[in-house]
A and B are shown apart, each in its own frame.
With several copies, the nearest count.
Chain A
Amino acid sequence: MIQLTHDTIDYTALTESIRSNQAGAVVLFLGTVREMTAGRQTVALDYDGFPEMAEAKLRELEAEARSRWPVIEAGIVHRLGHLELGDISVAVAVSCPHRHQAFDAGRYLIDRLKEVVPIWKKENWSDGSTEWVHPGVDNNGTQPQI
């Protein structure tokens, strides 16, 4: 199951969809909205996405994981829109015969998702300011000094 949604992520349904008698191990990763980031307080996040490309890239990532590990089933759901503290922004679930395969594949999927899938988050800080998060670009939009 590859899905983008504006609704609450049902990670139980996702997990059930990837369970299998051929798998001895299931790993589920949830990204959740954390209150503190580098000493600053967040009150909410807004996620924007380019849906067609995001779904295409998620499918490619699933194919990459399957080429590297004996994945039985895998699923990724990413939420878009306005998220409050503690809300789940992303769920990655994978089943494999053995546990280290499932841990490695799950970690690979979320690491790669953060590198290549066209989704962006905007911080809503507790001081009322907002800020797009664009790694490698500083707060003023200029390239950081290396």
Chain B
Amino acid sequence: MKTKLKLFAKARDLVGAAELELDLPESATVADLRIALGEHSPALQPLLASLLVAVGTDYASPTTRIGGRQDLAVFPPVSGG
């Protein structure tokens, strides 16, 4: 299923895009997204393990199903303040 996600900060720079569309099964979890992202953008590889995933405005847990969602965001650890 078409799955849309926003990228921020270094993740966006490494992918070279602010948004991305991946094809994921509906049952796909955060772990599956990580694998798919690494295959789509090998430049993300070194950042992959530390990437955070949000669904809507909440952090996704590792088991959250995210396949087909249009409101995902993927980003490295935050550093505001």
**Residues of A that sit less than 8 Å from B by CB:** 31, 47-50, 52-54, 56-57, 78, 89-90, 99, 110, 113-122, 132-137, 140-143
Contact = CB atoms under 8 A, between A and B. Distances in A.
A132 B47 CA distance: 12
15 contacts: A31-B81, A50-B8, A50-B73, A52-B57, A53-B73, A56-B57, A56-B58, A78-B81, A118-B73, A120-B8, A120-B78, A132-B10, A132-B13, A134-B79, A142-B46
B77 A113 contact: no
Interface residues of B, number: 25
Contact of B50 (A90, A110, A134): A134
A113 B78 CA distance: 9
Contact of A143 (B49, B73, B75): B49
Given A99-B81, A117-B80, A137-B47, 8 more contacts: A50-B73, A53-B57, A78-B80, A116-B59, A120-B8, A120-B78, A134-B9, A135-B78
Contacts of A54: 80
Contacts of B52: 118
